[in-house]
Chain A
Amino acid sequence: MTAAEEATVASENGDESGETLELRNIVKTFQKPGQGQILVLDEVDLDVEAGAFISLLGPSGCGKTTLMNVVSGLIEPDGGTMRRGGRDVSPDDLSLGYIFQEPRLLNWKTVAGNIEFALEARDVPEAEWDERIERYLEMVNLADEGDNYPTRLSGGMKQRVAIARALATEPEIMLMDEPFSSLDEITARDLRQELLDIWNREEKTILFVTHDINEAVFLSDYIYMMNTDGEMFARRDIDIDRPRQYDDPDIAQREAELYKEFHEQVVD
């Protein structure tokens, strides 16, 4: 049983959080100086199934991040609907965590202080802070770094702190915007593996933005593919058994297929 199926089962006891989040006909235009109106999202549909690992895949500047920010509430779409369990929802109704491309840590606060920042912002009772900080720092293998400052950590460790910060708010859906793209490949692979472990154990839903086809195939249950015209041109499932291996020929083959599809889109 996949995580998505498990979540469907969970939703049968009336828990709305187990339902799929459905975005329909999302439109967003931006005003760019000198270029006029730019259509970034052209009637895009997106299903965020509970418990699934979903990737938004596309070249740079194709609106993936914009789409994710529509979910996060940081960007107000010009049109379209967001529904769940048959009802309209706004980002405020969702339980979300965000891991940005850069760690976006407060360098003047300790690692623990950075997590406290998010807990305070989310109005988590202070009595729970210590326990959560300990639990989630341990989860990202930084149990001993709580009193350290981010400036003394490596890039990979900073991104782990950012992951712990997002996890500590105990979100149902984790939004991740190319979180490993600025790390070296060895560190990135370790973190991807750890992320999958956490996703599996904590039963999170993850919406993951990337331009790396290999990364998307390795991580995802299904992938949405976008082009630079702001169109979502395909949804592709990745039916490869987990745990997956990087050198699995199935992954390489799926990657090649998806690349071909992208290439055809660009040529058209």
Chain B
Amino acid sequence: MDRLTRYLYTVASIVTLLALWYAGGVTLPEVVPGLPETYTALVVVLTTPGPYDHMFYFHVWKTIQMLFASLIVSMIAGTLLGVALGRSETLESTLATWVYAWLAIPSLVIVFVSAIWIGFDASSGYFAIPLVITPFVGLNMWEGARNLDDDLAEMAEFFGAGRVQTFTDIIIPQLAPFLFASFRSALSIGWKITLLVEAFLLTRGVGFMFRRYFDQYDLPTMMSWLIIFVVFLIVVEYGVLAPLHERVMEWRPDAEGVRVTE
């Protein structure tokens, strides 16, 4: 499919969604916030200060701050964990069960326990969110580390490549697709947990706003906040991740137009 056709399909899907939304708002007004009402609410959110006199970007910024700080911590910790598991059979047999157990703990429980341990402030979030995301990153990187090509490692050893050269030229490029996949899943899981933390524990951020308008049963405003953050995540995907992915994966024969999958 050429670029124009792809673009047209995207536009068509957005138009269809808006039409369905509008129809839903007219036929089921108690359940679906109306499209015009949501638009009005969105304009209000974007132009007037909300609770505590903060504009929308204050809350969005706070959420982003917590989300991305957690992502950085989780990417580092998860990569170390995954590579350790993938490269050492001893560690794998010792830790594998616990990684799966860790994955099985509901995020809600982690958030609640953090609040009890640490308190109802942002520190709980900075503790709980990386704790939830790290095993997902670890699982991905584990798979990546298990698939490292021993033949290439042998080639590098034969030519006498040092540790640094082996790491940057042999290991990292093989892990790159897994790093991207990890980051994408960490981002999508992480932002949901961030909202949970903000909704339950904090008085700022996008999650707090959801909670506040949920209490007021104000569906159109909740919808506006959802739109703001979803738009932000789409911008991150198409504006940063996809171009970066395409650049890093330039060598692949089908690199033209790396498809966004998640």
Interface residues of A (CB under 8 A from B): 72-74, 96, 98, 100, 102, 104, 106-109, 117-118, 120-123, 149-152, 169
- Summed over the interface, the residue pairs from A and B with CB atoms below 8 Å come to a total of 54
Q: How far is the CA of A122 from the CA of B159 in the complex (A)?
A: 6
Q: How far is the CA of A241 from the CA of B226 in the complex (A)?
A: 81
Distance (Å) between the CB of B255 and the closest chain A CB? 9
**Which of A108, A109, A120, A123 has the most chain B CB atoms inside 10 A of its CB?**
A108
**Using Cβ atoms and an 8 Å threshold, which residues of chain B touch A96?**
158
Whether A104 contacts B152 by the Cβ 8 Å rule is yes
Known: A106-B169, A107-B251. A74 touches B154 (CB 8 A): yes
Sample of 10 further A-B pairs with CB below 8 A, known A108-B176, A117-B161, A169-B159: A74-B157, A106-B170, A106-B173, A108-B251, A121-B156, A121-B161, A122-B159, A122-B160, A149-B253, A151-B252
Q: How far is the CA of A74 from the CA of B253 in the complex (A)?
A: 32
Whether B158 contacts A72 by the Cβ 8 Å rule is yes
Q: How far is the CA of A247 from the CA of B250 in the complex (A)?
A: 45
Whether B253 contacts A151 by the Cβ 8 Å rule is yes
Whether B151 contacts A121 by the Cβ 8 Å rule is no
Q: How far is the CA of A104 from the CA of B155 in the complex (A)?
A: 7
**Which of B156, B157, B161, B251 has the most chain A CB atoms inside 10 A of its CB?**
B251
The residue from B154, B160, B250, B251 contacting A121, defined by CB atoms under 8 A apart: B160
Q: How far is the CA of A73 from the CA of B152 in the complex (A)?
A: 16
Known: A74-B157, A109-B251, A121-B160. A100 touches B151 (CB 8 A): yes
**Using Cβ atoms and an 8 Å threshold, which residues of chain A touch B250?**
149
Distance (Å) between the CB of B131 and the closest chain A CB? 33
Q: How far is the CA of A266 from the CA of B162 in the complex (A)?
A: 44
Q: How far is the CA of A104 from the CA of B170 in the complex (A)?
A: 11
Return the chain A residue nearest B155 by Cβ.
A104
**Using Cβ atoms and an 8 Å threshold, which residues of chain A touch B253?**
149, 151-152
Q: Which 3 A-B pairs have the closest CB atoms?
A: A121-B161, A121-B159, A108-B173
Interface residues of B (CB under 8 A from A): 151-152, 154-162, 165, 169-170, 173, 176, 250-253
The residue from A100, A102, A107, A120 contacting B165, defined by CB atoms under 8 A apart: A120
Whether A109 contacts B159 by the Cβ 8 Å rule is no
Whether B155 contacts A109 by the Cβ 8 Å rule is no
The residue from B151, B157, B169 contacting A117, defined by CB atoms under 8 A apart: B169
Distance (Å) between the CB of A187 and the closest chain B CB? 20
Distance (Å) between the CB of B4 and the closest chain A CB? 26
Q: How far is the CA of A117 from the CA of B164 in the complex (A)?
A: 12
Whether B251 contacts A151 by the Cβ 8 Å rule is yes
**Using Cβ atoms and an 8 Å threshold, which residues of chain A touch B160?**
121-123
Distance (Å) between the CB of B209 and the closest chain A CB? 43
Whether B158 contacts A98 by the Cβ 8 Å rule is yes
Whether A117 contacts B159 by the Cβ 8 Å rule is yes
Q: How far is the CA of A73 from the CA of B159 in the complex (A)?
A: 11
Whether B251 contacts A98 by the Cβ 8 Å rule is no
Known: A102-B151, A106-B152, A106-B169. A118 touches B251 (CB 8 A): no
Whether A104 contacts B151 by the Cβ 8 Å rule is yes
**Using Cβ atoms and an 8 Å threshold, which residues of chain A touch B251?**
107-109, 149-151
Q: How far is the CA of A96 from the CA of B251 in the complex (A)?
A: 29
**Using Cβ atoms and an 8 Å threshold, which residues of chain A touch B151?**
100, 102, 104
**Using Cβ atoms and an 8 Å threshold, which residues of chain B touch A102?**
151
Q: How far is the CA of A109 from the CA of B251 in the complex (A)?
A: 7
**Using Cβ atoms and an 8 Å threshold, which residues of chain A touch B161?**
117, 120-121
Return the chain A residue nearest B170 by Cβ.
A106
Q: How far is the CA of A108 from the CA of B175 in the complex (A)?
A: 12
**Using Cβ atoms and an 8 Å threshold, which residues of chain B touch A123?**
160
Q: How far is the CA of A169 from the CA of B161 in the complex (A)?
A: 13
Q: How far is the CA of A96 from the CA of B161 in the complex (A)?
A: 14
Return the chain A residue nearest B151 by Cβ.
A104
Whether A100 contacts B169 by the Cβ 8 Å rule is no
CB<8 Å pairs between A and B, sample of 19: A74-B154, A98-B158, A98-B159, A100-B154, A102-B151, A104-B152, A104-B154, A106-B170, A107-B252, A109-B169, A117-B161, A118-B159, A121-B160, A121-B161, A121-B165, A123-B160, A149-B251, A151-B253, A169-B159
